[in-house]
């Protein structure tokens, strides 16, 4: 059973592999205290045992990162977002779930530092959830 993103990447045979690797490296660099697992057939990062970020690979033209709060609390697609995102990177799916998508490695690299700030902020904003 695959348990780490390194094991996952060793078996991931896809043209998007460099982009996935770059996202994973940025997450680990920005948030070194997270634990990791493989859930939903993708690398997932947890903060204090709570799922917070999962790589999204089901759309073949992009690589995404789902920022979430695990199974609880319940999402509300009509409620205000958890916080105001000044980065412009988040695509809010509900009040407590958002995604970030990249279509190419160079696009990600141009936004890498901003991406790291966004994932750090997600952890701060979801700490009490």
Domain 5-124: CATH class, spelled out: alpha beta
Among 70, 43, 69, which Cα is nearest to 54's?
Answer: 43
Cis peptide before 5 (omega within 30 of 0): no
pLDDT of 70 reads: 84
Give the mean model confidence (pLDDT) for residues 25-54: 94
What is the greatest pairwise CA distance in the chain?
40
CA distances from 48 to 36, 105, 129 (A): 11, 30, 11
Distance from C-alpha of 71 to C-alpha of 28, rounded to nearest angstrom: 23
pLDDT of 3 reads: 81
pTM of the model: 0.93
> Sorting pLDDT into bands at 50, 70 and 90, what band is 71?
confident
């Amino acid at each position: 059973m695959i348990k780490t993103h390194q094991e996952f990447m060793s078996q991931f045979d896809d043209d998007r592999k460099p982009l996935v690797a770059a996202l994973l490296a940025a997450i680990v660099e920005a948030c070194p205290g997270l634990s990791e697992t493989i859930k939903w057939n993708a690398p997932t990062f947890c903060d204090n045992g709570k799922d917070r970020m999962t790589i999204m690979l089901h759309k073949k033209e992009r690589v995404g990162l789902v920022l979430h709060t695990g199974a609880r609390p319940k999402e509300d697609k009509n409620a205000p977002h958890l916080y105001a995102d000044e980065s412009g990177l988040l695509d809010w799916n509900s009040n407590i779930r958002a995604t970030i998508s990249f279509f190419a490695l160079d696009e990600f690299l141009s936004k890498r530092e901003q991406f790291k700030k966004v994932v750090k902020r997600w952890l701060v904003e979801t700490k009490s959830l």
